[in-house]
Chains A and B, each alone.
Chain A
Amino acid sequence: MTDYDVIVVGGGPAGSMAAHAAAEKGLKTIMLEKDRDIGYPVRCGEAVGDVALRQFMDPRPEWIAATITKIRMRSPNNTKIDFDSPGAGYILHRRIFDYALANRASQAGAEIQTRAYVDGLLFENDTVRGVKYQYMGEPRTLSAKLVIAADGVESRIGRMAGIRTAIKLRDLESGYQVTVGNIDIDQEMIDFYVGSNWAPGGYLWVFPKGDRMANIGLGVIGTRAKDYNSHDLIHDFLKEHYPKASMLTSVCGGVPIAQTLSQITANGIMLTGDAARMVNPVSGGGIVSGMHGGKIAGEVAAEAISTGDVSIKGLAEYPRRWRKAGGKSHEALHRISESIYDIDDDKLNKIAAKLEGVPEKDRSLLKIFTTVAREKPKILLDVTRAFTGF
């Protein structure tokens, strides 16, 4: 007998979806979160695509800070390319959203424990059989048939199970974001800056947060993070563009833009969300992909437990379904993201100039694609596409 069927480590979107799926299938499930709060601090720009989100749930007004209908991309010389994108998506209040996801899992029967820091795994032979954790600093253990590691970018739980999760510098964005008040921006537009002046090997975003607020953040690619620091760049940017903005929140955060790990299971354990590197490697969006991964993990957990085989073999459906669901396009996006870093500022400006020639009313994605296609690099089409899907 084990204490639980499934232990989920980490209470982000991936963890909550996994816990919900497992509990809904009747599994005795607990989710352990190290912080005192689910959903806080918010290390996220909070952008989600409408279509993507609706795969899992209909958006609710209380989660939504702003509704996005327009997208703006700026080249290094500040040429602005706008296009309408009605129904594109939302800027969430993730604090409320993550709470709602966890609450939904608990209503399906999952238990949840905060201030529970998992610092080890229990093994039986070579199979994971539970976790060691500290609840408010006091050591405890829990046994389970299966552990789902949804512990985010750090992904230490997987390492404890012998999976190599350490991320390469070229596969990580070192991020910093402020939520600011008192700025005048179009509250329906998300605004991206690319190029080396603000965002070496990444991009800077200005996302409306309702009520004259915005999330302004950027990621610097790990390979260039030795020379650039996202904190300093953001503060320079604010001085130049929004000198009257006041800082309401500031957070750091790493975005894994790697390919999904080649190994996302070991005997008795599955990795999901950021921990498995499921983020869209071009846009850096990982909310919905994490939800997707978590849901599949929870469902496969139920199947594996019912057959009594939680070995890598018994869990083989998990990587298979992830690949089928999004893993393949994920691999393509990763290849694209690798080539984006090679586009220099001149080329970005040139492409922007070409796009500027397309009348705004004709700036459908298709038009933009065909225009850019003439100028090559095909890559930028894919980038645009990746962003409009978030």
Chain B
Amino acid sequence: MILVKENRCDFCGTCVAVCPVDAIELREADISIVHATCIDCDICIWVCPIDVLSSDQKPEAKND
């Protein structure tokens, strides 16, 4: 499952652009993952420039 550190997010939409199944809902200052749709491919974690996203399977996906 994708975890979101909401306070860290800049709401830039980079993660939304790559999500293959459109599972990220993003407004002006509000982000959420639609877990029912998400296929846990993790690419949103990689492209986020400021490490907002992580996976509960692999919490330290970046720089580990």
Contact = CB atoms under 8 A, between A and B. Distances in A.
Q: Do A and B bind each other?
A: yes
Interface of A: 34-36, 43, 115, 117, 152-156, 159, 166-169, 172, 174-176, 220, 222, 225-227, 229-232, 250-254, 256
Contacts of B26: 154
Nearest to A115: B28
B20 A254 contact: no
Contact of A254 (B12, B27, B51, B61): B12
Contacts of B46: 169, 174, 222, 225-226
A111 B58 CA distance: 47
B58 to A, nearest CB: 11
30 contacts: A35-B28, A36-B28, A43-B12, A117-B27, A153-B13, A154-B16, A154-B26, A155-B17, A156-B16, A159-B22, A166-B17, A166-B20, A168-B18, A169-B46, A169-B47, A172-B14, A172-B18, A172-B47, A222-B18, A222-B47, A225-B49, A226-B61, A226-B62, A227-B63, A230-B49, A232-B63, A252-B10, A253-B12, A253-B14, A254-B14
A154 B14 CA distance: 7
Contact of A252 (B19, B50, B62): B50
Nearest to B28: A35
Interface of B: 10, 12-14, 16-20, 22, 26-28, 43, 46-51, 61-63
Contacts of B22: 156, 159, 166
A169 B20 CA distance: 11
Contacts of A252: 10, 12, 14, 48-50
Given A154-B26, A167-B17, A229 B51 contact: yes
Contacts of B14: 153, 172, 174-175, 252-254
A130 B14 CA distance: 26
Secondary structure at chain B's binding surface: helix, strand, loop or mixed? loop
Given A225-B47, A226-B62, A231-B49, A254 B17 contact: yes
Nearest to A254: B14
B49 A172 contact: no
B17 A256 contact: yes
Contacts of A254: 12-14, 17-18, 47
The 10 closest A-B pairs by CB, nearest first: A254-B14, A252-B12, A154-B13, A226-B46, A252-B10, A154-B16, A176-B49, A252-B49, A230-B49, A174-B47
A175 B18 CA distance: 14
A114 to B, nearest CB: 9
A153 to B, nearest CB: 5
A312 to B, nearest CB: 22
A17 to B, nearest CB: 20
B17 A153 contact: yes
B64 to A, nearest CB: 10
